Structure 1
């Protein structure tokens, strides 16, 4: 299975540090999964405005291609001003509604206040529900106090929750193999 680990920001490094830790834990539970990190910071973004995909630049089309070719996703997002970054929402806006259908998704996020975990419930989950993803029930939210100066996760509870997220994600991924997939041609 091809799993896309999406670093949903163009600035900062805590989100990427969380993804790398999740990647390590997924490999422990299923070393056969093909894990690839997609860093939105590595691409030239254009505002999504409804034009056909072919009219966007190569980077935007490449992002869509990687989402389409993945069998599951780990979505990582910082929380800025009580919301997900615009670049992540813009990425979701590029995708066809069937792109992520019945594919497993886990969510990790980080922010500067403990209350911002609600952004996962109020913004990310509804978007992923629209795509009809198999969203695992155990997201992990981290706070800046969970990291050291080098952005290494230092909190044992966070490590335990990330390990559990990885375990549940692998099980959701295996379950998704048995679901019928809807092709874009049929709907």
Structure 2
């Protein structure tokens, strides 16, 4: 099983730090999955406007293929101005509606205040529901107070929640293997 760890921003390092921690906790489960980090900052983005994928630049096509080839996702996003970054939404807009269908997804988000966690509920989950993803129920939200000056997570409760999320993700990933690919392809 191939799991794509998506760092959904082109600036900052906190979401990447959280992803690395989740990656460690998933490895610790002994699942043996192939874990690949994809940072949106490593790609040259174009605005998605409905053209066929072949008409976008090589980076956009490569990013689309990475999503298609993955069997599950850990999506990490900062919250800017009460919303997910435009670059992450643009990446989702590029994907075929069946790309992420019935694949497991866990969410980690980071913001400046406690209230920004609602962005996960009000914006990100509906997008993932549109794709019919198997979204784990236990996303983890962090804010700047959970990190030290080197962007290491210092809060024990956050570590506990990230470990739990990793465990639940692996269970969802195993469950997704039993879904009939034929039924998925027919829809």
- Do these two structures clear the TM 0.5 threshold for a shared fold by scoring above it? yes
Offset of 1:28 from its aligned partner? 0.6
Deviation by residue 1:13-65 (Cα, 9 ceiling, x = unmatched) = 00000000000000011341000000000000000001111000000000000
The equivalent residue for 2:148 is 148
Unaligned residue ranges in structure 1 (runs of 5+): none
Q: SS of 1:83's equivalent?
A: coil
Q: Which sits farther off after the overlay, 27-36 or 49-58? A: 27-36
Offset of 1:185 from its aligned partner? 6.3
The equivalent residue for 1:65 is 65
Distance in structure 2 (CA, Å) of the matches to 1:52 and 1:101: 20
Residues 1:168 and 2:154 aligned together: no
Give RMSD over aligned pairs.
1.2
The equivalent residue for 1:49 is 49
Question: Cα gap change, 1:150/1:6 in structure 2, threshold over 3 Å: closer, same or farther?
Answer: same
8 Å contact kept, 1:76–1:108? yes
Offset of 1:184 from its aligned partner? 8.2
Offset of 1:183 from its aligned partner? 7.8
Distance in structure 2 (CA, Å) of the matches to 1:90 and 1:140: 23
Distance in structure 2 (CA, Å) of the matches to 1:140 and 1:30: 21
The equivalent residue for 1:129 is 129
Offset of 1:180 from its aligned partner? 1.2
The equivalent residue for 2:83 is 83
Unaligned residue ranges in structure 2 (runs of 5+): none
8 Å contact kept, 1:98–1:182? no
Q: SS of 1:102's equivalent?
A: coil
Q: Which sits farther off after the overlay, 22-31 or 51-60? A: 22-31
Taking structure 1 as the reference length, the TM-score comes to 0.97
Q: Which sits farther off after the overlay, 142-151 or 23-32? A: 23-32
Deviation by residue 1:113-156 (Cα, 9 ceiling, x = unmatched) = 10000000000000000000000000000010000000000000
Taking structure 2 as the reference length, the TM-score comes to 0.97
Distance in structure 1 (CA, Å) of the matches to 2:186 and 2:168: 31
8 Å contact kept, 2:31–2:170? no
Count of aligned positions:
187
Deviation by residue 1:49-105 (Cα, 9 ceiling, x = unmatched) = 011110000000000000000000000000000000000000000000000000000
